[in-house]
Amino acid sequence: MSPMSRFVPLLCCLLLAGGCGVERTARVPDAAAAVPSTSAESGPAVSTPTVFRLPSDFAAWQQSPVVAPDAAVLAVPGVSIGRFQGLDAVLVETPLATAAVSLVGGQLLSWVPAGQEDVFWLSPLRAELPTPIRGGAPVCWPYFSRHGQGNDVPSHGFVRTLPWTLVSAAREDDGTVLLELAPPALQGLALGLRMQLRIGRQLEQRLVTTNNGSEPVRYTEALHNYFHVADVDAVRIEGLAGRTFLDKNDGGNAHVQQGEWTLHDPRDPGRSDRLFADAGGRYSLVDPKLGRRIDVSVEGGRTAVVWNPGEAAAARMADVGPHWRGFVCLEAANAGPDLVELAPGQTHVLVQRIAVAPLD
């Protein structure tokens, strides 16, 4: 029996249930070894994710207002605090690019390289806070979906609806802006999180997770990118052909991606909810109608998720509705079987780098 055939059933169960610079290297289990076994030669069994309890101060933080950063943090040309589509945000404006990062959820809302259209999609039907913001690049942490969690915790983790703090800002000689933001430390949660952004001609985003506790922790995470496209029916994603994915629209069953991803897969056309484990980390979103490609490279993240609800499901989503054609989610993640295991004191970094180029 091949390694792939042995771990597919476990991957299905995991889905339905729910380099980079590091100080000490965290372990991301090998997907091919992610099979329970008593044989020493077959490698270790896949660990189950840590079950997180709702922090006792979560509701209080969710109702807390955002706090403006110290004046010294904002003493950087091109960086300010303002409003972006009705949301309190860190605003960046330089000759290289403009960007907006929400102070609720630490969510990148917009990045517009000079001369380009926005790389990200933000729903024009966004619900009022504290409903999670639909669009941009939501931070799903310390778990993706409800992977391994109960129904007493919010989907996609704790930090999407909490106020974040702008910790620092700087500007490099070429005009690239560096930002660091962090959510509040939550009671009973051993993990700490920082997010670092480099905003310029290209975008770099890092999720830096540290285990501040005394016990190992296993978690999942994602940068849930909503990329702006002219028409999702006309785009393709390169880099996933031939890879095995778990299809949430098919009960978590495993399939092999036939050719480059499009929304017209004859097996299940018109929608996508696919989790690619051990996905390779190099993807390109090709948009002929906008005449551009969005190249995504990932370090410290083994999973790719591709999602668009399609017309029927979008009609039932108040904050998507008829606008489903305007985006596709291509997510940098550690999810499904790709858990991150952190020993006490360890740090793990998930990095995505995004660049935009015209089509030849």
- Which of helix, strand or coil describes residue 218? strand
331 is a catalytic site residue: yes
> Would you give per-residue pLDDT tens digits along the chain (360 residues)?
443 443 344 444 444 444 333 334 455 443 322 222 222 222 333 468 999 999 999 999 999 999 989 888 999 999 999 999 999 999 999 999 999 999 999 999 999 999 999 999 999 999 999 999 999 999 999 999 998 899 999 999 999 999 999 999 999 999 999 999 999 999 999 999 999 999 999 999 999 999 999 999 999 999 999 999 999 999 999 999 999 999 999 999 999 999 999 999 999 999 999 999 999 999 999 999 999 999 999 999 999 999 999 999 999 999 999 999 999 999 999 999 999 999 999 999 999 999 999 998
Catalytic residue among 147, 224, 228, 348: 224
What tokens does 66 get? 């955002």
Using alpha carbons, list the distances in angstroms from residue 126 to 123, 131, 134, 261, 317. Answer: 5, 9, 6, 28, 11
Using alpha carbons, list the distances in angstroms from residue 86 to 65, 89, 100. Answer: 14, 9, 12
180 is a catalytic site residue: no
Write down all domains in the chain, each with its CATH number in brackets: 3-358 (2.70.98.10)
pLDDT value of residue 141: 98
